[in-house]
Structure 1
Amino acid sequence: MEYALFSAAELLGEDGPLARQIEGFTPRRPQQEMAEVVAKALEGKQTLVTEAGTGTGKTYAYLVPALLSGIKVIISTGTKHLQDQLYHRDLPLVKNALGISSRVALLKGRSNYLCLHRLHLFTQEGEASHGRLAGDLVKAQLWARQTSTGDISELGGVADDSPVWPRITSTADNCFGQGCPSFSKCHLMAARRQAQEADILVINHHLLLSDMALQEEGHGDLLPPAKAYILDEAHQLPETASRFFGRRVSGRQLLELARDSGAEQRNDAPDMLAIRDACQWLEKTVADFRLALGLGERRLAWRKVADMPPVALALEQLSRALADLEVELEPAAVRGKGLEHCFKRCGSLREQLAMFAEEASEDFVYWFEAYSRSFILSASPLEISENFQAYMECRPGAWIFTSATMAVGEHFDHFNHQLGLEMPASYRWESPFDFQRQALLYQPVGLPEPHDSGYTQAVIEESLPVLEASRGRAFLLFTSHRALKEAYSLLKDRIAFPLLVQGSAPRSELLRRFRALGNGVLLGTSSFWEGVDVRGEALSCVIIDKLPFASPGEPLLQARIEAIRRQGGNPFMDYQLPNAVIQLKQGVGRLIRDVHDRGVLMLCDPRLRSKSYGRLFLKSLPSIAQSQDIKEVEAFFQTG
């Protein structure tokens, strides 16, 4: 049958091919309406902003018109996990149902692909013969002989945090491009060629923003041109973009430069021993600089430590070490492409490091993150709307932004302002789930203010009868790691249900255990507020300790608050409150994931009732029955 003669809404209807051929597919009116709006935007090359509540089926709502459009479409998702799901599961299902032979491709950032040259170099190093690294390297070598894509997600036997990955993948800093001896067999280049030829290309926001940043610097394109761009999980874009349009220098970058320079010196300039000495000096100054930033993990504005004598001295020595290495690499650059590339990297890193000695621009906020063994120095722009608009103008066509959580109340003003979108077409659909029947919102009374030292203990005391009523099967979502740790210590000896804690295992493993247990209680912070899908009875209760306002000590937030004040705005109403509303919507969205789900949402923060802005939070949530009586919670679970 020629489905091009049918509208997107008809194809998603109860008599359409998706209903007939995709198991479990349920026609939904909001999905059909969204598909029609997307089709119109694609045809008219419009900018479109849509919010589709959980259960709308927004993925199919944009895939059907995208596949029918006959134009090249780039679809960007929030995470690599969602990107893989879209490419490997959703797209094939819709393509097969529609009988469309469109060419589709998957493209990720370069660090997601095996680099054959770096694998070869690493294999030759003595370090590769020791411990865990050796075992992971053997697995990588065997896989390298079999893989056709080089996508590292294929190699399931090696942990995500294995130290082997940065040694056998490339970065923009250490990639040789066409000068690489393995260029003809490069997995990344093969993926980029397929991306050029595809009708539908699936990427993620990190790659999209990397392309924006490169284009801004005049370094060409990572992505092929397209006629339309569909950005799913678009609520993540403003925050992610602020990182990509900035500058950063990390301890890892500096150590990789030292390691790569040493390896290339041994290969192509064994007589130039001064390079080896300069590399060792750079490694020492990197370690000294990390120590100067203080003990423990920290995230602070750079100005808070920049003038401290130990930090200033360590930065000066680090800059000098980079300059010394650059001097030694310059005459060696003619010996080989690798040494030439290291020389250029050294100069680029030295220039970026100089930004932190000057803090020259008021349009940027300078900050640092210190980890147990490394650090990142970042300079992020306060506003990204001009950058984003410039990119959209360079890539004319339809631009479609969609998410389950973009509106504040019923309006998109906050999102539109952040990306510089002027009067886009906007639509919003509530979740089709029956929240009045499927869920109950419980707000306990008598809790102290969130800043009270006993607040977390009070939250746990109020949560215990709810957990008993729900028989476990709960997420406890916290706004800070400190609160999570305190909650764990308070709960571990007081409940009979299995307790799972963020950080004790990878997120995917914790979710696997949670689903398998059927009565688990999982404690999580930010990474469990979104992108987590647990359907069925295993998750029947979500408890949120506080309204998710960003920490006032967060350096980017501090700088934005100051900038809004300088412009005569209200930082709380214009920025902090809208962001917190969107984040709360994400957390609430974990509870009801299916038409058959049932559960209790417990919002502990008393500010929902005591502050005028509490109404905006509640207004932004689905229409849901509310209670302040624990007996109604118990009755809800007894009747389920």
Structure 2
Amino acid sequence: MSTVSGLIEKAFARLSELPGFVERPDQQQLSMLLGDFIEGDTRGAIEAPTGLGKSLASLIPAIAHAIHGGKRTVIATYTNVLAEQYWRKDLPLALSLFEDEFHPGELKTAFQIGRTRYVCLSAVEDNAPDLVLPIRAQAKLGIETEFRSIIPGPTRQLTQLWQKVAAPPVCPGRLCPHYHDCYYYKGRKQAEKAHVVITNHSVVIQDALVAQSADDGMGMLGDYDYLILDEAHDFPQAALNGLEFELSGPRIGMLIGISARLEHSLMSLAQMAGDEERWRKLCHKFKEGMEACQRALVAYSLDLGQPGILTLTPNEVLEHPQVKLHQAKGGVEAAKDVAQAVTRETEGYARAVDQCIDVWKNMTGPSEQVKLAQETARHYLQYIREIGFGASLLFEPRGVAVSYVGRNGPDAMLRQDLIGLAEPLKELIWNRKPFTCLSATLATDGNFEYFRRTTGAEFDYEEILPSPFDHATNAALYIPKQGRIPDPTIARREGTEELYYQALATELGQLIRACGGRTLALFHSRKEMEGVLRHINLPPELPVMLQGKFGAGAVGEKFKENINASLFALRSFWTGFDAPGETLSCVALVRVPFEVPIDPPQVARLAWMQTLGMDAFGGHTLPLAKMMMRQGAGRLIRRAEDKGIIALLDPRLKSKRYGEEIIANLPSEMRQFDDIYDAVGWIGLEGKTLNL
């Protein structure tokens, strides 16, 4: 049998024979490294720049190890869009490179994303019965993107329909008549045994949480051997999202709905046991208790003064001046009463349901229906208990965490967020399975210290691979001369923001004219973006599109279709957006995206660092901004033939000491200009500009 390295070499030899192949020596080096890591259970950190082909480089060693030793590898990326790209585009190509190394059916692959991204056949039957047949006939994975491609209709109408037919966060499981055809459960079963699993970061976190609470220590993804985290720079955010807790009116309403579904699912068994009336009363009592909690939360909302921090740990951080300034004003005891009531009601209901099933089991005798009822109740009660447990921790946070009250519209919302990820991630992820963190922008200042410190990950091997692109020839850096744009901090402090917006509009207008459109302007706030747009004055031949509050994907596609258009966009376009070729000739980073400590988690994090004697700006705010600036600049050169200009419009990059540090994190070989027309001429974009 071939060795793993031999299989990888053979795969790349076949890849080189394919039409359109572009040789990338570091792609094979990365693949070999990952092959060694999987074999030796090595924990690695690798920065693999855009264009290197890290998706294929990850899949090839995973498949090679599956063939050679049956090892199971999970490959997780940040978004569902990227996971689907792995599954639909990269995986078929990677498998074709090994087509004579295994028999059909021997090597198993699986795709798994979050439950609510799958269509629920039971919900389709209830809400749109005429769609059952086309979905069954055409859907392969049963996920939202397939649903939208199968069912015709306007985007808004499809969104409303999807909300009705998407899988709920918890369901009856095997008691559902569609269980054996359920897309979500079929995906889960395949993922538990597959040699190569494609998923997202959120599922990795959920899998670890399930494994932590399971008696056998097994999660949703089964007993896999190795984890590859692609787009690992985004993994901390996925972890924060997965480990947060929220108690709101809609969340309590969801508990009421789940209880109603559980009541319906077990009613036939209650009737068999002659216990229908008691079962109805139990579920009705829980509903009344939850409705009382909703009313109490509304009353608390009306009495609430200033939203803010309720409590946090470590306790000494509560004495920090900024924490005191951002503490909630009024009604803290009322918030505690709501949380305690939710915990009390959920725990009492869960115990009573378990007792009912035990009674019914004794009255009807062991049967398959009792077994299914116990399994269904376990699904529902686990979700209910998790909310009750989360509510119990709101005023007794563990680790480094902050509990606070915010607003969801007019209503209060109680939340708890982790502000220290290192220890939780060590327990959940890093100490559980060997892994590699992979990203085009994982390092800051040429090392992985910031990622290690904030996530708790420890690596046996670290590598920063060179970019395959010629930035010296294909890219230029444009920074306007001092004085052209006011300092945004001073403008905000002195109330002269309109003058700042006007100056930015003038500068962006000149950029867009010089490049003939083709400009992606990345903003840090919607207020700033809309303020600049008010002052932009461009001819109709150079349209400017604006990212709305919804439909980011749609506006991105429209931008790529109109070669002379420009796009003003926010956070979701700083990373993951791909517009290769003539569509994009200039990326303008309007302002350094410093995290402003306004929200309670941000205030608490900086206060905690200062309590430890750390420099919060140098240790967190600045490294995070450097990473985001690298991500934003990375939107420009996506293919070897791409060329263009990176424009940095924040005057503080010239006036503040940190400016040189941020610029040093961008490709150093780029030539720098302070005249946009010189930059356009040098890079060779003159022929693309409009004659206006």
**Structure 2 match to 1:151:** 143
**Structure 1 match to 2:44:** 48
C-alpha separation in 2, matches of 1:460 and 1:284: 48
2:21 is the counterpart of 1:25: yes
C-alpha separation in 1, matches of 2:221 and 2:36: 25
TM-score of the two chains, using structure 2 as the length reference:
0.80
**Structure 1 match to 2:401:** 364
Say which of 378, 385, 388 aligns to 2:415. Answer: 378
| Aligned-residue offset at 1:41 | 1.5
Q: What aligned pairs does 1:228-307 form with structure 2 within 5 A after superposition?
A: 228-262=226-260, 268=267, 272=281, 281=292, 284-285=295-296, 301-302=309-310, 307=328
Q: What aligned pairs does 1:137-536 form with structure 2 within 5 A after superposition?
A: 137=128, 141-146=132-137, 147=139, 149-156=141-148, 157=151, 159=155, 162-172=159-169, 174-178=170-174, 180=176, 182-218=178-214, 220-262=218-260, 268=267, 272=281, 281=292, 284-285=295-296, 301-302=309-310, 307-309=328-330, 313=334, 316=337, 320=341, 334=356, 346=384, 348-356=386-394, 358-361=395-398, 363-368=400-405, 370-372=407-409, 377-392=414-429, 395-397=432-434, 399-445=435-481, 446=483, 447-451=485-489, 452=491, 453=497, 454-491=499-536, 496-503=541-548, 505-536=550-581
C-alpha separation in 1, matches of 2:202 and 2:582: 34
C-alpha separation in 2, matches of 1:328 and 1:75: 39
C-alpha separation in 2, matches of 1:602 and 1:352: 45
C-alpha separation in 1, matches of 2:541 and 2:302: 43
**Structure 1 match to 2:82:** 82
C-alpha separation in 1, matches of 2:412 and 2:81: 26
Q: Deviations over 1:383-436 (max 9, x none)?
A: 222232234466444x11110001112111111222323353111123211112
Say which of 99, 104, 109 aligns to 1:104. Answer: 109
Q: Deviations over 1:347-366 (max 9, x none)?
A: 5434422433x255462122
What is the one-letter code of the residue matched to 1:95?
L
Checking the alignment, whether the CA contact within 8 Å between 1:542 and 1:588 is kept in structure 2 is yes
Q: Deviations over 1:19-45 (max 9, x none)?
A: 222x43311122222222222222222
Closer/same/farther in 2, CA of residues 419 and 541 from structure 1, 3 Å limit: same
Closer/same/farther in 2, CA of residues 218 and 363 from structure 1, 3 Å limit: farther
Checking the alignment, whether the CA contact within 8 Å between 1:329 and 1:342 is kept in structure 2 is no
Q: Deviations over 1:195-217 (max 9, x none)?
A: 13321111110000112223334
- SS class of match (1:74): strand
Closer/same/farther in 2, CA of residues 325 and 4 from structure 1, 3 Å limit: closer
2:631 is the counterpart of 1:586: yes
Say which of 584, 591, 594 aligns to 1:546. Answer: 591
Checking the alignment, whether the CA contact within 8 Å between 1:50 and 1:428 is kept in structure 2 is yes
Unaligned runs of 5+ in 1: 129-136
- SS class of match (1:503): coil
**Structure 2 match to 1:133:** none
Identity across matched positions, percent: 25
Cα RMSD between the aligned structures?
3.4
Closer/same/farther in 2, CA of residues 369 and 91 from structure 1, 3 Å limit: farther
Residue range with higher mean Cα deviation, 174-183 or 268-277: 268-277
What is the one-letter code of the residue matched to 1:48?
G
Checking the alignment, whether the CA contact within 8 Å between 2:541 and 2:564 is kept in structure 1 is no
2:635 is the counterpart of 1:630: no
2:616 is the counterpart of 1:571: yes
Q: Deviations over 1:327-370 (max 9, x none)?
A: 688767748777887677555434422433x2554621224553
What is the one-letter code of the residue matched to 2:677?
K
Structure showing greater Rg: 2
Residue range with higher mean Cα deviation, 156-165 or 403-412: 156-165
What is the one-letter code of the residue matched to 2:60?
V
C-alpha separation in 2, matches of 1:347 and 1:420: 29
- SS class of match (1:98): coil
2:617 is the counterpart of 1:620: no
What is the one-letter code of the residue matched to 1:17?
R
Checking the alignment, whether the CA contact within 8 Å between 1:3 and 1:98 is kept in structure 2 is no
| Aligned-residue offset at 1:513 | 0.8
| Aligned-residue offset at 1:187 | 2.6
C-alpha separation in 1, matches of 2:53 and 2:379: 47
What is the one-letter code of the residue matched to 1:80?
N
- SS class of match (1:537): helix
Q: Deviations over 1:564-609 (max 9, x none)?
A: 2222221112111111111111100111111111111110112222
Closer/same/farther in 2, CA of residues 461 and 85 from structure 1, 3 Å limit: same
| Aligned-residue offset at 1:171 | 4.9
2:94 is the counterpart of 1:94: yes
What is the one-letter code of the residue matched to 1:248?
E
C-alpha separation in 1, matches of 2:415 and 2:611: 23
- SS class of match (1:33): helix
C-alpha separation in 2, matches of 1:59 and 1:293: 49
Checking the alignment, whether the CA contact within 8 Å between 1:301 and 1:367 is kept in structure 2 is yes
TM-score of the two chains, using structure 1 as the length reference:
0.86
- SS class of match (1:162): helix
